[in-house]
Amino acid sequence: MTSESPKTLINGASCNSLAVSDRGLSYGHGVFETIRVSQARPVLWEQHMARMLQSCARIGIKVAKDLSHLLSNDVRSLCGSNSDGVIKIIITAGTGGRGYSTPEITDTQRIVTLFPMPDYPTGNTEHGVKVITCDYRLSHNSRLAGIKHLNRLDQVMARSEWQDPEIAEGIVLDCENNVVEGTMSNLFAIKDGVLLTPSLERAGVKGIMRDFVVETALSMGLETREVSLGLDELKKADELFVTNSVIGLWPIRQWDKQRYCKGVTTAELQRCVERLFDEKVSDHS
């Protein structure tokens, strides 16, 4: 590893490499979380931990009872007192087991890395981004839908469709041509005063920031619906935006050839997301 490598802890100890026999590498038998750190505080920590534990249970990874606590210590140790950045947590099923069979006793691996904040153009947040529609289609799989697992070739394939740095995100449809999400984000639309976001029952990743935006919208009295809509219907929206835990909320100013204005509802939701990042009170226990 070079000296520029981000800092990583594996099972609490400083380390940058993992056994090649790990089921995370062999099969993608693991989950991950990407968490924004604001002034040494991992934002929406409890929500990320809850999703991570649910995801592990869904794909048969047994974890220590105090995993969240151990991870919290890892994050504190990596971040120090006052850093901003991004924490990536990977939990793998560990080594062992002949072939695909998960062994009875596993050495679940806990990998925590601190990255600097990505240098996205500041205009993305302020003026919005340009997105395209990807050709690649997501399969339906209700057993894995919603989980942030390590089988992410779908996203790699979709993301490989453009190189233009002016394009910030690609919107991905499913095999029935319903819009699902962005390659690294969830999608929202506002149409006639109603907040719409694609259902993730059959494909997609259920983002923590997506949950936060839905809850915020509900608390604002905004009608909110999970929908299965095609490209043409969603493009008719009045306002559009994408979210994830690192970027927060980016308004969409252009989707393929269609242009959009940043509306008042998007702006209001965005203020709530930005406040969340700026909060001084720690929710990191």
Is residue 181 part of the annotated active site? The answer reads yes
17 binds a copy of itself (CB under 8 A): yes
22-81 positions binding a copy of itself, by CB under 8 A: 22-30, 32, 59-60
Q: Binding pattern to a copy of itself, positions 94-123, x when CB under 8 A?
A: ----xxxxx--------x-x----x-----
Q: In Å, how far are 26, 73, 104, 190, 236 from 11, measured between CA atoms? A: 19, 11, 20, 43, 48
Which one among 160, 177, 258, 282 touches a copy of itself, defined by CB under 8 A?
160
Q: Which of 64, 67, 89 is nearest to 79 (CA)?
A: 89
Distance CA 36, CA 15 (A): 22
Contacts of 14 (CB under 8 A, 6+ apart): 7, 8
| CB closer to a copy of itself out of 89 and 237 | 89
In this chain, which stretch among 19-27, 229-237, 251-259, 265-273 interacts with a copy of itself, using CB under 8 A? 19-27
Task: In whole angstroms, give the CA distance from residue 246 to residue 84.
Answer: 11
Position of tokens 């995801």? 55
Burial 74-92 (b: 16+ CB within 10 A, else e): bbeebbeeeeebbbbbbbb
Element (H, E) at 194: strand 194-198
Which of 148, 161, 191, 224 is an active site residue?
A: 148
Q: Could you give the string, one character per residue 238-257, with x where binding to a copy of itself holds by CB under 8 A and - elsewhere? A: --------------------
Tell me if residue 34 is catalytic. Answer: yes
List of residues contacting a copy of itself (CB under 8 A) = 1, 5-6, 8, 10, 15-30, 32, 59-60, 90, 92-93, 98-102, 111, 113, 118, 136-137, 139-141, 143-144, 149-160, 175, 183-184
